[in-house]
Structure 1
Amino acid sequence: MTNGGIRMASLAAAFCLAVPAEAGGGSQVLVDGFDGPGFSESGGLYYKENFEQSAGIVEFQKEVVRNGGGALKLSVKPLCPASKTSCSERAEIWEKTDLRVPYDEGVWYGFAVKFGDPIPDDDHRYLIAQWKREIDAGADGDFSPFLALRLRQGKLFATVETNYVSPTVQAASAGGCASGTPVWFRPETNQMRALVATDAAWLPEDGDLYGACTDAISVTDHGNKLPAPNSGWIDFVVFTKPGPDGSGHVELFANGKPIVTVKGRIGHADPGLGKNQYFKFGPYRAAHTTDWTMYYDDFRRSPNCADVLHDGPCPAD
């Protein structure tokens, strides 16, 4: 028992995408419904212990569930001292190291999430899930997730990150992109972050950081917005295949509906980066003064779409 909780290692047929129903043959199928007192052996998940994670509380509870007899309740509380400006507060669940997927392979992930009350509505850095590349010991730089699901001012959005590419298209006068994808250039860190999906409440001013445009990342919008954070359980299905050379591919579904297809430069190729990608989920934020709670259920991972996308047909070959 720690910090008041338990920490334990334990589309319609007309819609077709050029994504194989099977991809990335090297990954193992993982499933955890969080119905027991700890992480299941079949899920390959664990809670990583470090200073920032000590802000977290993990509860295997049965009051707020989507399926089965239980779900994870993950909370963070204030932790970071005012003098530590780069400190974050996390309650993230990780894939075990020996079960991670090679960086150049595609893999399907699924998980359900529900925002606890109150839902944060301030202008702050909040993440609920992120996909990253391993960083070898001694590597120079701090690398952002190549894909992340985020919250800002109570609105849900998704971003894709890659190495910095000099702009070749200009922002439209109204603040959007006449062509290309909205992007936040960060040449000082050799990175840039693209805004690829938002919920229906998102306003132009919410994306003020993404004031430039890039053609290095393309987004196909399938006509569905991300669900609102207050809409109850949201079941995400994601296909991830990083490709910093321009071969990257992401598919994002929510509640069985296709949201976006993202292609192009996805992920990082700096010296000292590792050979695998990995997934983390749970509340993660910059230091704050309040408590924040999220619920998670129905985690699954597979090289096969049909193992993960349960609320709609998989994309055709």
Structure 2
Amino acid sequence: MTTSTIRGALAGVLLLAVPAATPLFADPLHDVLVDGFDGQDFSPEGGLYYRENAEQSAGTVTFQSAVKRSGAGALKLSVKPFCAADSENCSERAEIWEKTKLRVPYDAGVWYGFAVRFADPIPSQDHRYLIAQWKREIGPEAEGDFSPFLGFRMNNGKLFVTVETNFHDGASIGPKGGMAECPAGQTPVWLRPETNQMRALVATDSAFKPEDGAIFNACTDKITVTNRGAALPQPSSGWIDFAVLTKPGPDGDGRIEIFANDRWVVTVKGHIGHADMGLGKNQYFKFGPYRAADTTDWTLYYDDFRRSAKCEDVLTEKSLCAKLD
């Protein structure tokens, strides 16, 4: 056997011995995304990026190591005044997005995890602040401005979570100037028929008062909330590690699970998300400070992002996954 023949035979054996590499993100729904923000850029395994547009020009993104939850670093996201103070339709953002090619189907159940820490001073004004949101893709033929089907929000220095869906008739039973006192099986909701939407209040921190939820002055049986025994942590409590299952279902089969610092907060079921003409086939997640026009700087830190179809890949206390029905 010649030398060249031996080399050819060995090459063939090596090719058979080494399996073909699986392309990264070949199946976004079942791939696990992870980014600890430990370097000087987003991890290739995380699938995240900072979106450049006019609203995002109010923001800055910094990979730093002075404030972190784990690992070598964490992400610092800040917004500064950018809009005119009296502007009604201008917003200021420093949001991190999932890459478009990694978005998952709108009707799929997906687990997300992320940790957030509020920098001082924590805004305490009556104002619109978001720290994370999940939305449905909006196609060019869609008409309207669609709010996130799941939003982690803050107002008056208090943390709360809302779920959005298409408008359904509801009866206001709450006292004027306070949120509705709903019977079992119903949830306080803000009816917005002019936009074919309604927004439900599904979770709050322990400092949240009825007057803080005054706009949620109606009740709906289209969205049900099961309280699991824990309130949301307050913004001043330090690092908050969230684990969230999102499964939109505009027709009534939606489901959301929220955990904070390995404590089960709520289960939300029912009509979740939008089903209007022209909306896209995927859902997507973005996180970071987002607010209406304001006059001060605002900073948040984020760490330990993960995404997976499996609860066990996201919840730190994996035994909690077995309690889900």
Considering the TM-score relative to the shorter chain, is it more than 0.5? Answer: yes
Q: How does 1:1-317 map to 2 (within 5 A)?
A: 26-82=29-85, 84-167=87-170, 170-172=172-174, 175-179=180-184, 180-316=186-322, 317=325
Per-residue deviation, residues 43-62 of structure 1 (Å, max 9, x unmatched): 00000000000000100000
The alpha carbon displacement at 1:29 in A equals 1.0
Per-residue deviation, residues 223-277 of structure 1 (Å, max 9, x unmatched): 1000010000000000000000000000000000100000000000000100000
Query: What secondary structure sits across from 1:314 in the alignment?
Result: helix
Mapped partners of 2:212, 2:30: distance in 1: 37
Amino acid at match of 1:107: V
Q: TM-score, normalised by structure 1?
A: 0.90
Aligned length: 293
Mapped partners of 1:274, 1:150: distance in 2: 24
Question: Quick check: 1:76–1:292 contact (8 Å CA) kept in 2?
Answer: yes
Mapped partners of 2:87, 2:125: distance in 1: 21
Mapped partners of 1:152, 1:83: distance in 2: 18
The alpha carbon displacement at 1:107 in A equals 0.4
Query: What secondary structure sits across from 1:195 in the alignment?
Result: strand
The alpha carbon displacement at 1:313 in A equals 1.9
Structure 1 stretch 117-126 or stretch 26-35: which is displaced more? 26-35
Question: Quick check: 1:255–1:311 contact (8 Å CA) kept in 2?
Answer: no
Question: Quick check: 2:29–2:308 contact (8 Å CA) kept in 1?
Answer: no
How many percent of aligned residue pairs carry the same amino acid?
68
Classify 1:296/1:77 alpha carbon distance in 2 versus 1 (closer, same or farther; 3 Å). same
Pairwise CA RMSD of aligned residues? 1.5
Task: Spell out structure 1 runs of 4+ moving beyond 6 A.
Answer: none
Instruction: Please identify the structure whose Cα radius of gyration is greater.
Output: 2
Amino acid at match of 1:105: A
Query: What secondary structure sits across from 1:64 in the alignment?
Result: coil
Amino acid at match of 2:102: L
Mapped partners of 2:124, 2:112: distance in 1: 27
Question: Quick check: 1:27–1:101 contact (8 Å CA) kept in 2?
Answer: no
Structure 1 stretch 172-181 or stretch 252-261: which is displaced more? 172-181
Mapped partners of 2:207, 2:88: distance in 1: 31
Classify 1:25/1:83 alpha carbon distance in 2 versus 1 (closer, same or farther; 3 Å). closer
Question: Quick check: 2:252–2:272 contact (8 Å CA) kept in 1?
Answer: yes
Amino acid at match of 1:315: C
The alpha carbon displacement at 1:82 in A equals 4.5
Amino acid at match of 2:231: K
Question: Quick check: 1:58–1:72 contact (8 Å CA) kept in 2?
Answer: yes
Question: Quick check: 1:25–1:303 contact (8 Å CA) kept in 2?
Answer: no
Mapped partners of 1:116, 1:100: distance in 2: 30
Amino acid at match of 2:108: E
For residue 11 of structure 1, what is the aligned residue in structure 2?
none
The alpha carbon displacement at 1:314 in A equals 3.3
For residue 19 of structure 2, what is the aligned residue in structure 1?
none
For residue 16 of structure 1, what is the aligned residue in structure 2?
none
The alpha carbon displacement at 1:172 in A equals 4.7
The alpha carbon displacement at 1:170 in A equals 4.8
Amino acid at match of 2:238: G
Q: TM-score, normalised by structure 2?
A: 0.88
Structure 1 stretch 128-137 or stretch 304-313: which is displaced more? 304-313
Amino acid at match of 1:130: Q
For residue 20 of structure 1, what is the aligned residue in structure 2?
none
The alpha carbon displacement at 1:84 in A equals 4.2
Mapped partners of 1:41, 1:124: distance in 2: 35
Amino acid at match of 1:103: Y
Per-residue deviation, residues 195-214 of structure 1 (Å, max 9, x unmatched): 00000001110000001000
